[in-house]
Amino acid sequence: MKKTDAQTVHLEPMGALKEMLPELQDLKRQQPAHYTKSIASSLFTESWERLLYGKNPKDIALRITLKALLAIVLPGCDGHFFKTAGIDQKSAETILKSAFYEQIGDRIDSRLYQNLWKEIPELVAEFFVETNFRKKLDPYDSKYWFVEALCNQPRAGATKPGMSRLLLVPPEMHSEHCLITAVYAVLLSPGFNAEIGLPFLTGLTHHLHNAVLPDCGFAGEIALGEYLHPIIENSRAEALKHVDKKSSEHIMNAILNHENLENAEGRSSSAADVLDRVLDIKWRVRAASVIEKDVLDDLELVHDGPIKSFQMEVLKSADL
């Protein structure tokens, strides 16, 4: 990392954004019936599909961030869902606009909000085209094997030299960490006056080496010693072996900018990375420490509706 006086980096208050970032952690654990992996991993794969088939990182950043934000309130409600449920294109657009307005509101930068809002009609149109432009990556394709590898490569958990490893269950995949980091970087970019394309790409790619290197955590990295950096470099080269030279150079430049605090894009991706790592732990602690009041009272498990009074009588008779 380039030497920079951390105190010269002024961070603006995150405001309502800090309340929304934890909600995106749910996408790592949710897997709708028609998905083969978690929502986060699915969006990670889609991001790489768009990137490797020539889409601009800024355009990818907007489309994937929009999908991630919509998934907070409507997880899995994609083109497959709308068409199977018999919802037409106009109605689907109305649903998504309403969900986006209600869920996001003024929680993010206003200009970013407008740019994402403009993406909704195009997203819905893509849902309903007969032949979707997206070319699916074949997980057995030798050229792009690393994308699937990152979807199956678990994170190390918490490690520290001289202490026992703390394995986290369910395990977090590298694809999930990278995708949420990329989305966080987009949401944080306005606060750093950063363009969104580079931070998104940095977040998406910054663990590329773990397609080869099983994550051994901080303790394992210390154990690898002087061999760590050659292993990381060789692993990145192996992953990008079949990627065209221009794209490969673009990806490597993004990765190397990850801890560069001398530009806004580096600060945005570095901030996104640490936020995701800490918020992932907070999500686990909250899930493990949930009590009845959280679910039954605060979240109103038995919510208002035409049969609520009957349901409450049933619970009362059962001493619940």
CB-count burial class (<10 Å; 0-12, 13-18, 19+) for 180 = buried
Q: pTM of the full predicted structure?
A: 0.88
| CA 80 to each of CA 26, 65, 76, 96: distance values in angstroms, whole numbers, following the listed order | 21, 19, 9, 14
Cis ω before 170 (30° cut-off from 0): yes
Q: What is the pLDDT of residue 293?
A: 77
Task: Locate 85 and state its tokens.
Answer: 């449920």
Domain ranges within the chain, ordered by starting residue: 12-151+164-289, 294-320
* pLDDT tens, N- to C-terminus, the chain (320 residues): 344 444 455 666 688 898 899 999 999 999 999 999 999 999 999 999 999 988 999 999 999 999 999 999 999 999 999 999 999 999 999 999 999 999 898 899 999 999 999 999 999 999 998 655 556 666 556 678 999 999 999 998 878 788 788 888 888 999 999 999 999 999 999 999 999 999 999 999 999 999 999 998 888 889 999 999 999 999 999 999 999 999 999 999 999 999 899 999 999 999 999 999 999 999 888 888 777 776 677 767 777 888 888 787 877 787 77
